[in-house]
A and B are shown apart, each in its own frame.
Chain A
Amino acid sequence: MGIDIKNAVSEEFSFEKEKAVARKYAQRFQWEMILIGIGQACVWLSLWPLVMYGIIPLWMGFIVASFCACMSYLPSHEAQHGNYSRGDPKKRWIDALVGHITLVTLIYPYEILRVTHMKHHAYTNHDDKDPDFLTSNAKSAKDVVLMSLDGTSTDYEKYKEIFSSDAAFQKAFDKGVKVFLAYRAVLMLVVFLFPLQTLLLWWLPAKIGVVYTTLFFSYYPHIGTEIGRYKNTRFWQHWMPRYINHSMQLHFVHHLHPNIGHYDEPKAIEELKPFLIARGVPGAEQIPDRITYNPLIKI
């Protein structure tokens, strides 16, 4: 990694200067992400009484729940990187709170996603150590959809063995397993009592959310990329307006500087563009000079 960073690039685009630019965008308190995380979980929870009492039909509840599930991962993702507390131990509870609550919609434990995601950053595109390797290096989007529906994309059990010597990983993973079992128990109880509501307000929306998240967070940003800090994620374009796919065309900057807040990434990229071109980030030449609402649509 060290050799990669110091690779023949002029002093003008040094790693230190790149880091200084990135640091400017890694300071702000991300209130909007907290609002989305806690907000979507509250909306999702409110769907249950609304549907049970016939205030809204089940199909409408399903649509809203699916939307909530698609919105639920990103706030947890920021928490996984400690981007709410920003290194302040007194604020770490915000990371945990948002991280756990927002993932209720996806029926997945925060601690497992947190530790496996850290390993994804550390070993991006390593076939044996990257927990996202199967999906980020899948042959097609169809394969990603099938793996997500099948549960393969979130089957992180084998990584417990791979990182058996990492005590912190083991501790967090075991904590996550307990939450996972609790989720399963609640799901089984609720489906027995309210089968169709559980299917259409929780399980199916969660599946849709996992498919969406895996496609846009894991698959598209890593297609055709290699191992290496500046090579493992790419700039890409898509027919969808970027606010529909969580601006994941810009995911490469997150891999370079994970502490930049999600909504500050466009500004950071504008300033970092010359650095990214100098470093040869895949697709960097196509980054627009100014990133507005939808400049990333492929026409």
Chain B
Amino acid sequence: MEKFLETILDHSKIWFGLIFIGSVINAVTQEIIFFNDVPYLSVISFLVGFFIGLVAHIRGKWLWV
């Protein structure tokens, strides 16, 4: 259990990107008419979130501080 938790925490930025950023992007794109006809919009939104989190994970930080 502890090992499982550690693995999750080691990838916290990826999880944050996937769940938090993905959810927000998904909600925002649903509100914009321009994206209405885009297929798999939710999947794309969560993938974008995941990618942002992955980049932050590789870089070790979110911003360019």
Once the chains bind, are A143 and B28 in contact (CB under 8 Å)? Answer: no
Q: How far, in angstroms, from A196 to B29 measured CA to CA in the complex?
A: 11
Interface string of A148-188 (1 = CB under 8 A from B): 01111000000000000000000000000000010010011
Once the chains bind, are A188 and B27 in contact (CB under 8 Å)? Answer: no
**What's the count of A-B pairs with C-beta under 8 Å?**
40
Task: Give chain B residues whose Cβ lies under 8 Å from the Cβ of A43.
Answer: none
- Judge if A272 is at the interface, Cβ distance under 8 Å: no
Q: Max chain A CB contacts within 10 Å: which of B16, B19, B65?
A: B65
Once the chains bind, are B27 and A196 in contact (CB under 8 Å)? Answer: yes
Once the chains bind, are B62 and A150 in contact (CB under 8 Å)? Answer: yes
Task: Give chain B residues whose Cβ lies under 8 Å from the Cβ of A184.
Answer: 12
Q: Max chain A CB contacts within 10 Å: which of B15, B19, B20?
A: B20
Once the chains bind, are A191 and B24 in contact (CB under 8 Å)? Answer: yes
The one of B20, B24, B26, B63 that contacts A149, using a Cβ cutoff of 8 Å: B63
Q: Max chain A CB contacts within 10 Å: which of B5, B19, B23?
A: B23
Main secondary structure of the interface of A (DSSP, over half): helix
- Judge if A192 is at the interface, Cβ distance under 8 Å: yes
The one of A146, A147, A181, A188 that contacts B19, using a Cβ cutoff of 8 Å: A188
Task: Give chain A residues whose Cβ lies under 8 Å from the Cβ of B16.
Answer: 188
Task: Give chain A residues whose Cβ lies under 8 Å from the Cβ of B61.
Answer: 150-152
Once the chains bind, are B63 and A195 in contact (CB under 8 Å)? Answer: no
Once the chains bind, are B24 and A199 in contact (CB under 8 Å)? Answer: yes
- Judge if A212 is at the interface, Cβ distance under 8 Å: no
Closest-CB distance, B52 to chain A (whole angstroms): 14
The one of B12, B23, B63, B64 that contacts A192, using a Cβ cutoff of 8 Å: B23
Binding site for B on A (CB under 8 A): 143, 146-147, 149-152, 181, 184, 187-188, 191-192, 195-196, 198-199, 203
Binding site for A on B (CB under 8 A): 5, 9, 12, 15-16, 19-20, 23-24, 26-28, 61-65
